Each structure stands twice: as C-alpha cells, then as structure tokens.
C-alpha cells in the first residue's frame, strides 16, 4: 500500500496517452481529421495530460474553467488549478470547426493528439490582457505603479506568449498519441508520474520533497536539497526539459551538472534526478503553485520554494511565491484542494564569517560577508567569461559549464535583475 500523497483532483492519475493498437487506430483516424498546428507550450501541456502529470485534466479548459482559474485558482467544479491550460486557434480555423467535431493537433509534422471540440470561445485583446494581469502581474517593482504594461509586452516571456495567442480557444478532451522527443533524448530522466511513484514506493519513501530547477545547480540549490533530505525521506531534483527563454542553459547541460553533484556530494539513495516536459511560463508565484500541483501527481508532498521562484526580471516580490500558498482557496475536500505544501526557505548564501552555507534566518553577519547566489548571476558570469566568485558553485560543475559556454558561437545577453544581484537583500 503506497504511503505517498494521492494524485491531485481525487481521481487517481488521469492519463490521456494511448498505446499499442488503440494508438495506431487513432493515428489512422487522425489522418482524415482537420489538422491544427499547435504551439510548443501546447505540446508540453498535451504530453503532461498524456502521462498524468496534469491530473485531473483530460483536455484543454473551457471558458468557465479558464475564468475560474484566472480569477480564483479554481476550475468550475471547485478543483484547485493555478494557471490556464488552453489551446488557441485562429479565427479562420475556429470558423471551420463546429462544437462536436474531432480534430488532430500537430506540431512540426508530428500528430500529438486528437481532440473532441466541446466548446470554442473568443479571446479578445481585453481577455488576454486580463489573463496576463491575473497570472503574470506580481508585487515586484516592474509590476507596480503602472509599470507592468510599460515593461511586460517587451520583457516578460509569458505575457509575450499570451498576447501573441490567436483569436479563439478550443476546449475539450484529448487523446494523446506522442510523447515527442523526450523518451529518446532523456532516457532515465524523462519519467512519468507512475514511474516516480513506483520508484518512491520501492525506496519506502512517504514524505518526498521536490526541487524545481531551470538553472544549473549552484551551492544554494544544493543547500536547499540537503535541508529537505534532512527532514524528508528523499528529494526529487526535477528539471524542466521543455523550452526556456533565449540565454537559459539547455536541459542536457544542466542535467549533467546535477549528475556531477549527486555523484560527488550527495548520498545517492536519498535523491533522484528526473525531468518533466513543460515549457517555462515564467509566472512566478502562480507557476510555483503549478509546480506544486503537478509534483503532487508525481508523488511529492513538499515543494521547495526559495527566493524568486520561477521569476523573470523584477516582476515579482522576492518571496511572493511562498506567500501565495497562504492565499489560495481551501474547500476542505482533499480531492479538490492542493495537498502538496511549500517548504519555505529564506534567502540562502555562502557566508565567509559562518564558513558555510547559511540563510537570513541563521546568519547575523553583514552583506559584505556573503556570496549572493543565483542562477541568473551565474549565467551572467559564465556568458561574459567573467570570474565566478569562490563558493558560488562546485569546481567540477563550473568546469562543465565553462566548456558549454566556450563552445557557443552566439550568446544572448543575460539581463540582471535586483533579486539576482543581491541589491535588495
């Protein structure tokens, strides 16, 4: 009998992925359906619905769900969900599709799913702006005092993506037919929720924490993971292997860095490295909630949330992604509420006076004694060929990352924000 937290939504793992003869028959049927090209974001969302990562979702959201999620973190039936999962199509495609039709969802020539269209609804510019304000507007200096719409249309990847969406959304259940490149490109890393749950059960874990990574694992990440190892049965180091913004470090490079760290600096039996196939939305606090929601499906009941989790620029408050967990609705129904809880860790750093890793809760020394650690700051130094300060990262990892940057022919300028520089400490 598993001791792990139940999947989100009260229905077990809801998996829309077809296999074997059933998949073959659906692929054949898809050849005769209207073909709809989908975005990279929708591809990742489909794969997560396929493998049960987005349980209890079995398709793209209708307007009532979209509105409820944006407005109050709840779908129409009261189930918690923090970020809209929607499929956009052009006005021309929407006009050619009737409710009740089946369509094929395709990207780069690959049929990823079929979908039965149950609803289509228009997304006006006002609707898109409202979604952006609800999902992406935070409490940071680039979101307040009327600055959000001055800065976000050019500098916030999530806002840019939503505002570029087509004129209509389609809603309805899907049958997923492909997991894309992930099984072949990331063997042993790309794992389905059923697989991580089986692994946790095999190890006898009941209390599991997840560390979300989109940057190379530096000393602060290592420290967070080790805090969780001390108080939980084990830690899932869970890397994003979908698309990032330009200038971020590719998944394979980051995963190799994690392997180096686990091999040399962890008790291997207490940690596990894996990846998930989503694109980053850079939704800060809302994305922190999304990370906790789908980690619950992977068998995780504790989500490590540190400084500026899933942030971009200075759109979010430093610990807004922690505070938002205290503001989400709670119905008392374990099948509808979020059960994965945050492990709230203060700003962490290396302190020369403490002679080790510390946080604002444990270190009483001044800022000059501290090495401020952040993924953005590390990428900035490596991209510029600058010296990386002692105690920022493990030497073996830095050697690996420098080799990656030395091999780049085109580099993207890394923008520093106040959270990453330490100016706001």
Burial class, 39, CB count within 10 angstroms (exposed 0-12 / middle 13-18 / buried 19+) = middle
β-bridge partners, 89: 168
Measured from the Cβ of residue 317, the count of other Cβ atoms closer than 10 Å reads 23
Q: How far is CA 410 from CA 241, 246, 247, 415, in A?
A: 21, 11, 10, 16
With a CB cutoff of 8 Å and minimum separation 6, the contacts of 141 are 147, 314, 418
Q: How far is CA 309 from CA 35, 36, 144, 298, in A?
A: 37, 34, 19, 19
Helix 375-384 vs helix 395-406: crossing angle, to nearest 10: 50
> Could you give the 3-state DSSP secondary structure of residue 304?
strand
Q: φ, ψ for residue 358 (rounded to 5)?
A: -155, 180
Kind plus residue range of the DSSP H or E element containing 163: helix 157-163
Would residue 394 show up in a list of annotated catalytic residues for this protein? no
| Cα dihedral 394, 397, 401, 406 sign | positive
Summarize the chain as % helix, strand, coil (round to 5): 35, 20, 45
Pairing of strands 234-240, 271-276: parallel
Q: Which residue is catalytic, options 62, 169, 215, 301?
A: 215
CA-based end-to-end distance of the chain: 46
Would residue 379 show up in a list of annotated catalytic residues for this protein? no
Q: Which residue is catalytic, options 214, 254, 295, 370?
A: 214
Kind plus residue range of the DSSP H or E element containing 118: none
Q: How far is CA 199 from CA 21, 26, 205, 299, in A?
A: 28, 31, 9, 10
User: Which residues are catalytic, by number?
Assistant: 214-215
């Amino acid at each position: 009998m598993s001791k792990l937290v139940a999947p989100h939504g009260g229905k077990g793992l809801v998996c829309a992925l077809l296999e074997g003869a059933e998949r073959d028959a659906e692929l054949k049927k898809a050849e005769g359906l209207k073909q709809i090209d989908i975005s990279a974001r929708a591809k990742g969302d489909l794969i997560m619905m396929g493998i049960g990562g987005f349980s209890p979702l079995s398709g793209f959201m209708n307007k009532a769900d979209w509105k409820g999620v944006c407005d109050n973190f709840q779908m129409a039936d009261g189930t918690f969900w923090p970020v809209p999962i929607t499929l956009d199509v052009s006005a021309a495609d929407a006009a050619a599709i009737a409710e009740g039709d089946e369509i094929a969802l395709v990207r780069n020539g690959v049929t990823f799913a079929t979908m039965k269209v149950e609803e289509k609804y228009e997304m006006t510019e006002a609707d898109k702006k409202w979604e952006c304000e609800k999902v992406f507007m935070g409490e940071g200096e680039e979101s307040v005092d009327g600055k959000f719409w001055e800065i976000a249309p050019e500098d916030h990847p999530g806002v840019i993506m939503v505002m570029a969406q087509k004129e209509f959304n389609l809603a309805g259940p899907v049958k997923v037919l492909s997991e894309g490149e992930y099984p072949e490109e990331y063997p042993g890393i790309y794992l389905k929720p059923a697989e991580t749950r089986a692994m946790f059960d095999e190890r006898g874990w009941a209390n599991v924490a997840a560390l979300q990574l989109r940057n190379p694992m530096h000393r602060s990440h290592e420290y967070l993971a080790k805090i969780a190892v001390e108080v939980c049965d084990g830690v899932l180091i869970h890397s994003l292997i979908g698309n990032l913004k330009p200038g971020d470090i590719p998944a394979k490079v980051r995963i190799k860095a994690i392997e180096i760290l686990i091999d040399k600096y962890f008790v291997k039996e207490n940690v596990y490295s894996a990846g998930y196939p989503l694109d980053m939305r850079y939704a800060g606090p809302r994305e922190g909630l999304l990370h906790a929601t789908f980690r619950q499906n992977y068998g995780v009941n504790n989500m490590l949330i540190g400084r500026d989790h899933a942030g971009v620029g200075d759109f979010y408050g430093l610990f807004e992604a922690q505070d938002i967990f205290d503001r989400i609705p709670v119905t008392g129904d374990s099948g509808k509420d979020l059960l994965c809880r945050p492990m709230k860790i203060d700003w962490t750093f290396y302190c020369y006076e403490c002679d080790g890793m510390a946080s604002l809760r444990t270190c009483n020394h001044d800022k000059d004694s501290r090495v401020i650690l952040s993924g953005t700051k590390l990428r900035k130094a490596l991209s510029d060929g600058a010296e990386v300060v002692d105690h920022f990262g493990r030497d073996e990892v830095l050697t690996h990352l420098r080799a990656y940057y030395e091999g780049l022919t085109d580099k993207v300028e890394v923008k520093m924000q106040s959270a990453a520089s330490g100016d706001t400490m």
